[in-house]
Structure 1
């Protein structure tokens, strides 16, 4: 393959990954607490040692998908009226206990099991500020959550929802559509702000992501056409050479 083909293939590889990332964002546009994934692109130069290369054109530029990262911009808060729906306004994450260990989430759609344990949609218990499962008594009926996370019922105070964060949000590893695995030490949020009866929507903008998806597909098609043109040109050149009589 010639250099044009290599450059085009590097571009197609990046566009394929971009297509997957953007499609996944769109698929989770309605997932509460979901944070959009973004890509980091870079270009790298390859120096050509061919002495016949014109001056100033001895470097070739290739496209590289360097990494992906999460956009932790807060999503819009919407009213639900459900007393066990909680939205975080500002920094912080709920802590839940999974079978794989402690995980963080911004998805505050919880419910109470028959034994009183407050769990997320996958059955993972939410933890209080002391790292214990948050459990309500069966006789507790009226649930009230203050902005600092303090939970009270008609029978008195039950506990406090624990909100934690990390110094570098990019050290959080996504697991599934709404869970994050902390790889660095977590610490309590200094000024937690929880809104009861509300949920944080995904921070994905469907219109923006759809536009991006169309642009990626168009770019992919054009690059693929370039590959096909180069392939045809190379085949024609080979046919011409093989057809010429040897002197």
Structure 2
């Protein structure tokens, strides 16, 4: 296989990853708190000996899948009428306790178990400002959540919903559809803005992602055609050489 085919294959590998990322974005268009993923790729040079350069070297440019990052732009807020739903407007994440440790999320679709523990959609306890499981007793049927996270009933304040952040959101590792694993220390958000009975929707732009999907598919097809053309050219050259009579 010549260098042209190798270069084209490196491009196909990048496009394949881009296709997976874009398809996952579209699949989570309606996942509350979901943040769009983006692909970061680069080009790198490989120096080879050859006649194409004044010093006897040629440069070949390959595509390389560098990393995947998330777009943390705010998603739209919508009213649900459910008292245990909470949306964050601006900076911050809710903290939940999983069997693998504390995880962060922007999905505030919470429920209350029979014992009063507030959990996320997977049954993970939601944490308060002090890192403890958030529990509302049965007698606390009616409650309000203030913008700063304070939870109150007619008897007064019961506690505060925890909202934390990290120095660099790109260090968060996605787990599943809406959980994020912190790889660096978290710190409380000084002045969070919470909205009860609302949820933050996905920030996926379906039109933009669909357009990008079509562009990736078109680029993939053109690159694959290049590989086929090069393969045919090489085979024709081989056939011509082997068909020439020997002297």
Q: Same fold (TM over 0.5)?
A: yes
Give the superposition deviation at 1:55.
Answer: 4.5
Instruction: List gaps (5 residues or longer) in structure 2.
Output: none
Residues 159-216 of structure 1 deviation map (CA, whole Å, 9 limit, x = unaligned)? 1001000111111111101001111111010111100011001111000000000000
- Does the Cα contact within 8 Å between 1:141 and 1:154 map onto a contact in 2? no
Distance 1:219 1:78 in 2: 37
Give the superposition deviation at 1:155.
Answer: 3.1
Aligned position for 1:224: 224
Aligned position for 2:52: 53
- Indicate whether 1:101 and 2:129 are aligned: no
Distance 2:53 2:104 in 1: 55
Q: Which moved more, 1:200-209 or 1:54-63?
A: 54-63
Give the superposition deviation at 1:139.
Answer: 1.4
Distance 2:75 2:54 in 1: 51
**Normalising by structure 2, what TM-score?**
0.97
**Correspondences of 1:86-235 after superposition (within 5 Å):** 86-235=86-235
**Normalising by structure 1, what TM-score?**
0.97
- Does the Cα contact within 8 Å between 1:117 and 1:133 map onto a contact in 2? yes
Aligned position for 2:13: 13
Give the number of equivalent residue pairs.
246
**Superposition misfits of 4+ residues, deviation over 6 angstroms:** none
Give the superposition deviation at 1:128.
Answer: 0.4
What is the DSSP-based 3-state SS (H/G/I as helix, E as strand, rest coil) of the residue aligned with 1:125? coil
Q: Which moved more, 1:56-65 or 1:87-96?
A: 56-65
Distance 2:156 2:148 in 1: 16
Instruction: List gaps (5 residues or longer) in structure 1.
Output: none
Q: Which moved more, 1:101-110 or 1:73-82?
A: 73-82
Give the superposition deviation at 1:44.
Answer: 0.7
What is the DSSP-based 3-state SS (H/G/I as helix, E as strand, rest coil) of the residue aligned with 1:29? coil
Aligned position for 1:67: 67
Distance 1:184 1:60 in 2: 38
What is the DSSP-based 3-state SS (H/G/I as helix, E as strand, rest coil) of the residue aligned with 1:58? strand
CA RMSD in angstroms, aligned pairs only: 1.2
Q: Which moved more, 1:137-146 or 1:205-214?
A: 137-146
Distance 1:215 1:59 in 2: 27
What is the DSSP-based 3-state SS (H/G/I as helix, E as strand, rest coil) of the residue aligned with 2:220? helix
Q: Which moved more, 1:149-158 or 1:176-185?
A: 149-158
Aligned position for 1:78: 78
